A and B are shown apart, each in its own frame.
Chain A
């Protein structure tokens, strides 16, 4: 594990064409890392995420993605992701291949990936059309009962990127609150990069808490505010008003491009991104 600045960590671990999972279920979404991928101009990424949130709307709208594996693609509590819709409905700025699942199916695929099994299994996808449009939903027979079950190939991203509250200097990472499928996505990955709010000398005793041990982590990045406008429980709240504002910002291509230029492309790093929003609000 290496403690690195975000720019170096992503330059070292994410290449064009990689399969990349930025996970975090509403909570702890790695926005800073997503913006850095946009600044570095990554292309042809296969993005993986259960709930493509605003950060994937931005990556897709900026032309970084060629494929998306997902299970629910909206702006949570608000409505559509307009850049995702534009890519699917009109191929702008480029067409997007969809590998579409249900939450339960994707969770099973992440669990299988973490366990290095070839596929995940569930009693799911029962009599719906998802398996007609996704050849990666298969069927197997239970060798003991003969029951037919759904199977999904394991998801093993080249790189998983997470945001968490805390890491120690050895690179052990502690996550609190809503954790989604972050642990599974982390352990399924070829490389794991974690941005954290804080670096401490010693983590609190974890007991049943979630910890990613240092030998599973490739790079830790100190990045306060790295989940904003999502949130880091115990550090800052979700900025619901930003999620509401995104609906208008992202609705048309020009407005979206202007916003991305001003707040992401023309800022140096996440500190600059946050400063640009503060300046706009002032």
Chain B
């Protein structure tokens, strides 16, 4: 089997952080791949919730969008969207929320709204979606982010979702019920918050990645944990299951859809 790509490293590292029966609020893309890889490996009874309202879904292929039919078809049940956010997320019934973003700062605050000033942005990003309240109310959140000098920044252009705000203790004063970002999974390794300051620091590297490479990938100074662990390479079996999942997904998404025939 060929060597794992960095996307595969990220997906496998994130999947390993999930546990069986954990209730997980899933986003599209790498988080969705990680959650389903966990379900197909060590966490068969993980409960996946997509914000479209599908609860306990068990898709055989990865959805392209948050509301693909596959998600409803294989769900335990489907609820109206306001219920997902009020009765499940806000009520504290979600263990893990997965977030992505265009920018993250050293306290895990996220921006997915604009680059540049809000009124005249250089790049208008999709916006908040479910992120602000996932960041506030999931018991913990994981952030998946490909690191670049533009993504790990000193100062966010816009704060879409609160992490630890400006440091230890600040979050407790906000009314947020969740514990905040417990890990940031990047393409060189994993950042976790310092136990006292809540500042993110590099605590694990993928086998083969180096601290120098990690430092070069980001604009802001990168703090190191006292011990930087090494994350074991994706196993043959993890890679085989993940690649089969992606292959099934590609096949399903390239299948032509028959345009509806009109029954006039």
Contact = CB atoms under 8 A, between A and B. Distances in A.
Interface of A: 25-27, 50-51, 70-74, 76-78, 80-81, 84-85, 88-89, 100-104, 107-108, 110-111, 122-130, 133, 147-149, 177-181, 183-184, 198, 210, 224-225, 228-229, 231-233, 235-243, 271, 274, 277-278, 281
B128 A103 contact: yes
Contacts of A177: 69, 72, 78
B162 A126 contact: yes
Contacts of B52: 25-27, 178, 180
Given A71-B129, A126-B132, A233-B72, A108 B86 contact: yes
B141 interface: no
Contacts of B261: 224-225
Interface in B119-170: 120-133, 136-137, 158-162, 165
A77 B68 CA distance: 10
Contacts of A184: 80, 82
A67 B90 CA distance: 29
B249 to A, nearest CB: 10
A272 B256 CA distance: 20
Interface stretch (B34-42, B174-182, B193-201, B223-231): B174-182
Given A25-B81, A240-B253, A278-B259, A129 B67 contact: no
Contacts of A235: 260
Give the interface size bracket for B toward A: 35 or more
A127 B178 CA distance: 14
A14 B43 CA distance: 50
A128 B162 contact: yes
A177 B74 CA distance: 11
Interface stretch (B58-66, B184-192, B233-241): B58-66
A129 B256 CA distance: 42
Contacts of B165: 127
A239 B51 CA distance: 20
B83 to A, nearest CB: 9
3 tightest Cβ-Cβ pairs between the two chains A and B: A26-B67, A225-B260, A74-B126
Contacts of B73: 233
A32 to B, nearest CB: 10
Contacts of B253: 240-241
Interface SS of B by simple majority:
loop
7 contacts: A50-B81, A89-B122, A102-B132, A124-B90, A126-B162, A178-B69, A240-B64
B3 interface: no
A89 B63 CA distance: 30
Nearest to A114: B82
B1 interface: no
B186 to A, nearest CB: 20
Contacts of A70: 127
B77 to A, nearest CB: 10
Contact of B160 (A50, A130, A179, A225): A130
A72 B127 contact: yes
B113 A73 contact: no
Contact of A103 (B64, B85, B258, B263): B85
A61 B11 CA distance: 36
A240 B131 CA distance: 24
A239 B264 CA distance: 22
Contact of B162 (A71, A127, A281): A127
B67 A25 contact: yes
A27 B128 contact: no
Given A126-B132, A126-B176, A236-B258, A178 B90 contact: no
Interface string B85-127: 1100110000000000000000000000100001011111111
A238 B65 CA distance: 10
B258 A104 contact: no
Nearest to A70: B127
A77 B64 contact: yes
A108 B89 CA distance: 13
From B53, B123, B126, residue with most partner A Cβ within 10 Å: B126
Given A122-B133, A128-B162, A225-B262, A76 B66 contact: yes
A25 to B, nearest CB: 5
From B53, B124, B162, residue with most partner A Cβ within 10 Å: B124
